[in-house]
Amino acid sequence: MKIVGITGGIGSGKTTVAKMFAALGVPVYYADDEAKKLMNSSITIRESLTALLGKETYIDGILNRKFMANKIFNDKELLEKVNAIIHPQVAAHFQNWTTQQNYPYVLKEAAILYESGSYKDCDKVILVTAPKETRIQRVMDRDKVTREEVEARMKNQWPDSKKEELADYIIQNESISHTQDEVNVLHRSLI
């Protein structure tokens, strides 16, 4: 079974594209969603994050996302330490998940596939792109945040130009119908 990574900058529409593949029957592992679940369910992660960030990191056993985001998004060193706690746990969870799949390939959808180095564990990588202004507007609408907050998040991700050098496939996600056509062609190729 092939492992195909799918990534893209915040607001690129990588989750939308992953759902298009899922609708075709492809098993999709949403790494960011699984990481969020693990941050609440894994005692190892909880204890490590609390030791690193402080007691306010969890309230009644639930991750205080706003607190953590405020601490890490403007501190690259702290962000790297948090990622070093979470990523090995997500990688192990993904490995276990893949053993339960029976399909020619699976997708691993992750926002920071390149930044985390986990792209090296993929046979192929799909990069989803969209114009910067489109991405900013999508995230502002989706998360009800300011332009400045979106741009701060973008600074913690590699630029598309750097990701394009490593990607096996690039899907430009501006028009749903065009994107769906690209997904269908790529799916047939991957099968």
CATH code of the region 32-100: 3.40.50.300
pLDDT at 76: 83
Topology of the domain comprising 1-27+103-191? Rossmann fold (3.40.50)
State the Cα–Cα distance between residues 7 and 13, nearest whole angstrom.
Answer: 9
pLDDT, tens digit (0-9, with 9 covering 90-100), for 62-96: 999 989 988 987 788 998 899 999 999 999 999 99
Strand partners, 128: 171
Mean pLDDT confidence for 6-19: 95
Counting residues of the chain whose pLDDT is more than 70, the rounded percentage is: 100
Mean pLDDT confidence for 1-29: 96
Is the predicted pLDDT of residue 115 greater than 90, yes or no? no
Is the predicted pLDDT of residue 55 greater than 80, yes or no? yes
pLDDT, tens digit (0-9, with 9 covering 90-100), for 122-135: 999 999 999 999 99
pLDDT tier at 117 (50, 70, 90 boundaries)?
confident
pLDDT at 152: 84
Per-residue b/e over 113-147, b at no fewer than 16 CB within 10 Å?
bbbbebbeebebbbbbbbebeebbebbeeeeeeee
Residue 145 one-letter amino acid = V
* Residue limits of CATH 3.40.50.300 in the chain: 1-27+103-191, 32-100
State the Cα–Cα distance between residues 179 and 182, nearest whole angstrom.
Answer: 5
State the Cα–Cα distance between residues 53 and 119, nearest whole angstrom.
Answer: 28
